Amino acid sequence: MVILAAILLQSLLMTSSNASEMNSLLQQKDWPGLVLLLKPKEGQNFDHDLILSKAYIQLERRPEAQKLLNTWLDDSKYAELAKKQLDLVSNIFFSQETSNLYFDAVRLISIRKWAEAKDRLDQAIVKEPGNILLISRLVQVDIQLGLKDAAAEQLKVGLDLNPNQNELSVFSARLALDDEEERDAQRTLLNQKSWIFEHELPTIWYFDSLQSLKRSSEILTMQKGILKSHPNWAELRVWLLKNGLVPKDQIAQVKTQIEELFKDPEKFNQTQESEYRKGQYYWISNNSIDQLKTMYIAATAEKHAEKPMDKPAEKSASTNP
């Protein structure tokens, strides 16, 4: 006990001394000095680690800041603050050039020019490794381009740096579905359940995972409320018809809704644009209105009511982003 008390006393004295020096370095904005002072004591004091993460960012040493903040995510007292700071340091741009490349890539994504968007993002990530905005967009376009290995590699990097990033988590579920790891996909999407039903594509992926796990009854329970909340979601309605997941007494109503949405292509595209913009173009489908019409015609040619509800259906093109 005497030895422990001596250690605690020494720690308090050192903390007091360091606090004065730390405040002085902060006032001078001496970021290298702060790193030298605080790095040896990483993980011991949350407030000091916040300051150290700021110093890392000022020195453009983002991965070190992310790694440091990650150590606090399992601490119930500081997890929320650590996550907020982690999101901040993960998404900040160090230069206008990189920012311009990113927003140009998003513009290209919005018009489905995936290869051109990837070119901009590849240039940007070299300049700012560890930027989660860049990594998440690279995963998005790599999936669209069918570059699953590249997407998986970027996904691992991103989730190691920021394990709670929502978009990356959903994209990991998309890749899991492609690899027929439906249980992993469903578990991941379930953790994002508070928001994914506000976006059509993640909703389709969630239903796809349930269908593959022979849990169609859950889709039947959920889909009526979701369709009511989102009257403009044509692709989800087509997907439900394709997979025999519309109750027999509702098929005519759903078909009428789809045909009404398809009547005015210009209005349909404007509505889709509004939906995609709401999701910052993360959840943009690769299916045009003409492709959806073709899928709808194929879906209505089948006898959905006779299809067993819990038989895993063949994956349709509409489940691809």
pLDDT grade, residue 311 (50/70/90)? very low
Between 44-48, 73-77, 150-154, 304-308, the lowest mean confidence (pLDDT) is in 304-308
Q: Which residues of 222-241 are buried (b: 16+ CB within 10 A; e: fewer)?
A: ebeebbeebeebbbbbbbbb
Query: pLDDT of 185-204, one tens digit each?
Result: 989 998 898 899 999 999 99
Over residues 128-143, the mean pLDDT reads 96
H or E element that contains 65: helix 62-70
Which of 1.10.3470, 1.10.3300, 3.40.50, 1.25.40 is the CATH number of 2-91?
1.25.40
Over residues 164-170, the mean pLDDT reads 92
pLDDT value for 252: 94
**Vertex 107, ends 102 and 108: CA angle to 5°?**
95
Q: Is the pLDDT of residue 153 over 70?
A: yes
Say what percent of the chain tops pLDDT 90.
Answer: 77
Annotation: CATH topology of 95-163? 1.25.40
Query: How far apart are alpha carbons 225 and 213 in whole angstroms?
Result: 22
pLDDT value for 321: 45
Cα separation values, 213 from 174, 183, 186, 310, Å: 15, 7, 9, 8
Q: Is the pLDDT of residue 168 over 70?
A: yes
Say what percent of the chain tops pLDDT 70.
Answer: 88
pLDDT grade, residue 164 (50/70/90)? confident
Q: Count of H helices and E strands in the chain?
A: 18, 0
**Cβ distance 228 to 222 under 8 Å?**
no
Query: How far apart are alpha carbons 249 and 1 in whole angstroms?
Result: 76
* Residue ranges of the chain that CATH labels 1.25.40.10: 95-163
pLDDT value for 15: 53
Q: Say which residue, 14 or 19, is predicted with more confidence.
A: 19
Q: Is the pLDDT of residue 118 over 90?
A: yes
Query: How far apart are alpha carbons 211 and 213 in whole angstroms?
Result: 5
Q: Work out the angle between the directed axes of helices 251-262 and 265-278 (0-180°, nearest 10).
A: 100
Q: Which two tokens stand for residue 58?
A: 């000022």
**Cβ distance 181 to 279 under 8 Å?**
no
Q: Is the pLDDT of residue 89 over 80?
A: yes
Query: pLDDT of 175-188, one tens digit each?
Result: 999 888 989 998 99
Q: Is the pLDDT of residue 289 over 80?
A: yes
